[in-house]
């Protein structure tokens, strides 16, 4: 069993450097894969109501604890996210209660605000998590993300979450949270991989002792949700392949090592047990400074996750857009 190395957070807690991402693991196998990942040594599971399988991920965690009563809750690091339809204080606090109930725990290790923009909060049930108007656009809320962050701070003061985070915020938005927060963010989750190295954002985090958690660390190959036909695929990159050959590792392991050697962390998704096992086995080799520089040089500022459709004119949409998109 390979246990992930950990990294200290500004709150004093330790976070595993590699975690299992759960987005796009089918509901039917999520509990099993989470349980198996924990059996293999993963100690960080990244969840979200917006991934539509949080309940199943929670089940996997509970199954693991049932099978291993000797493992203390404090050994696991569970991250979760406030969804866009829960940005008001009341909805945010309710969603935190729901998370604690699902996981049968008294605290989350970190809760992120999933996106800076909020959506209408008036539709019940799971379809209400994606509230669309007749024109096909999302219906927005005007809740400011600082209201959501204050609710997270309140939950932290009540011991319901240990560390706070933001996800998919641009640097200006992150700077505002940093400036106005009482409990500063400990972790920022953002898209980062060798084709999108996020250098200025990384510096921003480093200067403030905020840990970077890379999501989509290998660029989400194989998914067409945000990727377009012909988009570059890291798995076939010649530089990464040549470095992988030198170390007798896979391209994915090299990318994860590149993230760790920079002092960052990553959550990587796989629903394949062999790959889940492979992806945490990255602690027994190191890249040379020259290899690190070669990988840094692959940057193309290539962003995959860009949910413009239905969001492009939200005042809190984090990234620039070129032209309004068509709906319906």
Q: Does 85 bind ligand NAP (CB under 6 A)?
A: no
Given 128, 133, 136, 222, the residue binding ligand NAP (CB under 6 A): 222
**Subset of 110-139 contacting ligand NAP (CB under 6 A):** 114
Tell me the C-alpha to C-alpha distance, in Å, between residue 52 and each of 19, 25, 55, 222.
18, 10, 8, 19
* Residue among 234, 238, 232, 279 at smallest CA distance from 260: 279
With contacts defined by CB under 6 A, name the span among 138-146, 170-178, 212-220, 282-290 that binds ligand NAP. 212-220
Stretch that binds ligand NAP, among 7-15, 21-29, 133-141, 154-162 (CB under 6 A): 21-29
List the interface residues with ligand NAP, window 189-208 (CB under 6 A): 189
Task: Tokens for 80, please give them.
Answer: 């979760």
CB of 100 to ligand NAP, least distance (A): 19
Helix ranges (H only) for 118-233 are 145-157, 171-180, 199-207
Q: Determine if 174 is a binding residue for ligand NAP (CB under 6 A).
A: no
Any long-range contacts for 247-254 (C-beta under 8 Å, 24+ apart)?
A: 247/285, 247/287, 249/282, 249/285, 250/278, 251/218, 252/218, 252/278, 252/279, 253/278, 253/279, 253/281, 253/282, 253/285, 254/287, 254/295
Q: Which of 4, 141, 197, 220 binds ligand NAP (CB under 6 A)?
A: 220
Stretch that binds ligand NAP, among 70-78, 239-247, 270-278, 316-324 (CB under 6 A): 270-278
What's the rounded Cα separation, in Å, for the pair 298 and 252?
15
Q: Which of 122, 209, 272, 296 forms a contact with ligand NAP (CB under 6 A)? A: 272
| Residue of 106, 223, 242, 288 that binds ligand NAP (CB under 6 A) | 223
Residue of 243, 129, 145, 134 lying closest to 194 (CA atoms)? 243
User: Which residues of the shown chain bind ligand NAP in the complex (CB under 6 A)?
Assistant: 21-24, 46, 114, 167-168, 189, 215-223, 250, 252, 267-272, 275, 278-279, 305
Q: What residues form the annotated binding site for substrate?
A: 114
Q: What residues form the annotated binding site?
A: 114
């Amino acid at each position: 069993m390979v246990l992930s190395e950990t990294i200290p957070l500004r709150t004093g807690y330790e976070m595993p450097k590699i975690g299992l991402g759960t987005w796009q693991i089918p509901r039917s196998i999520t509990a099993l894969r989470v349980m198996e990942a924990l059996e293999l040594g993963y100690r960080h599971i990244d969840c979200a109501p917006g991934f539509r399988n949080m309940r199943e991920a929670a089940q996997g965690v509970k199954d693991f604890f049932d099978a291993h009563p000797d493992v203390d809750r404090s050994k696991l690091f569970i991250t979760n996210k406030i969804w866009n339809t829960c940005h008001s204080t009341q909805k945010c606090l309710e969603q935190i209660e729901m998370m604690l109930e699902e996981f049968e725990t008294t605290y989350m290790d970190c809760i992120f605000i999933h996106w800076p923009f909020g959506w209408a909060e008036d539709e019940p049930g799971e379809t209400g998590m994606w509230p669309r108007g007749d024109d096909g656009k999302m219906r927005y809320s005007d809740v400011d993300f600082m209201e959501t962050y204050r609710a997270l701070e309140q939950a932290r003061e009540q011991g319901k979450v240990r560390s706070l985070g933001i996800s998919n915020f641009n640097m200006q938005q992150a700077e505002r949270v940093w400036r106005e927060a009482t409990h500063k963010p400990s972790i920022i989750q953002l898209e980062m991989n060798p084709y999108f190295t996020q250098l200025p954002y990384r510096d921003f985090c480093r200067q403030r002792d905020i840990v970077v958690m890379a999501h989509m660390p290998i660029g989400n190959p194989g998914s067409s949700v945000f990727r377009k036909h012909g988009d570059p695929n890291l798995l076939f990159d010649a530089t990464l392949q040549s470095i992988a050959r030198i170390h007798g590792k896979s391209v994915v392991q090299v990318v994860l090592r590149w993230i760790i050697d920079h002092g960052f962390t990553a959550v990587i998704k796989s629903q394949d047990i062999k790959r889940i096992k492979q992806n945490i086995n990255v602690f027994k080799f190191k890249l040379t400074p020259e290899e690190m520089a070669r990988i840094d040089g692959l940057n193309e500022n290539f962003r995959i996750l860009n949910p413009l459709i239905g969001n492009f004119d939200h005042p809190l949409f984090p990234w620039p857009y070129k032209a309004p998109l068509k709906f319906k």
